[in-house]
Amino acid sequence: MNSAIKKLLNSTSNRFGFEVSRKRADPLAALGQLIVELGTSVVVDVGANAGQYACSLRKNGYGGRIESFEPVSAPFAAAREAASSDALWTVHNFALGATDTTAQINVAGNAAASSSLLPMLSRHAHSAPLSQYVAEETVQVRALANIAAELDLQSGVFLKIDTQGFEREVLTGCGALIPDAVVGVQLELSLLPLYESGPLAGELMNWMADRGFVVSFAMPGFSDQHTGELLQFDAVFVQKKFQRSIDSSPASTSSLATD
């Protein structure tokens, strides 16, 4: 990670509760432990693709309920197949957003991993040419608050959002679930504009802080394949009231490991 990005992230440490360091840890194991420590009763997996995130949670110790959401038809079918033998994992074939509506989703060429309801900017396409859009699909969009009762999202919700620039809309659609029912949130954050009108890291970090959440730890994500520059990272937020007990755990981590 270059020094400019480190400086940007470290400048937020007082408010958001983390710093960039060279501490190494297994981020997936740390995430699994954190989800258990939070007393999570259900993981809401927004942007499930083929179900990789849920499978990783199972491998790293989380045995509770998972509600996954994947609007694109091909990865949805793969996720549904992956969940077919897991009674506590349900996969839904629609997107989450600010309101209930229908929309056109852009299907990316990299196994739909970079699919988005927003136009992709040239910086993203240049950084990862295989991610360029190859098709469109019409999908249903629901606000999470409007389906919370039928999904029994009353408490102990851990929310993971990987929606390629659509994070603001998903968070808005949560309504009072944040912070009333949600104990933790994992967000993919962009350091540079990658999708048209998509929020940058600072905006979403402020949004979470205003609702009483702090960063527990972060993980490097998408980098420019030509320059190695970090473009996105995942930040895991917890309600501030949980931070003290989590930080006292011997295996917990509050740093962003780097090369």
For residue 247, the model assigns a pLDDT of 56
Question: pLDDT for 18-32, tens place per residue?
Answer: 444 444 457 888 899
**What contacts 147, CB < 8 A, 6 or more positions away?**
none
Question: pLDDT for 201-236, tens place per residue?
Answer: 999 999 999 999 999 989 988 888 889 999 999 999
Q: What is the pTM of this model?
A: 0.86
Tokens coding 241 = 């009231």
- Listed as ranges, residues in the chain with pLDDT below 50 are 1-5, 12-24, 250-259
Strands 157-161 and 213-220: unpaired
First to last CA, the chain: 7
CA distance 158 to 237: 10
Residues facing 78 on adjacent strands: none
Nearest Cα neighbor of 207 from 168, 234, 163, 176 is 168
**CATH class of the domain whose range is 3-256:** alpha beta
Edge to edge, the sheet with strand 133-142 lists 95-96, 133-142, 101-108
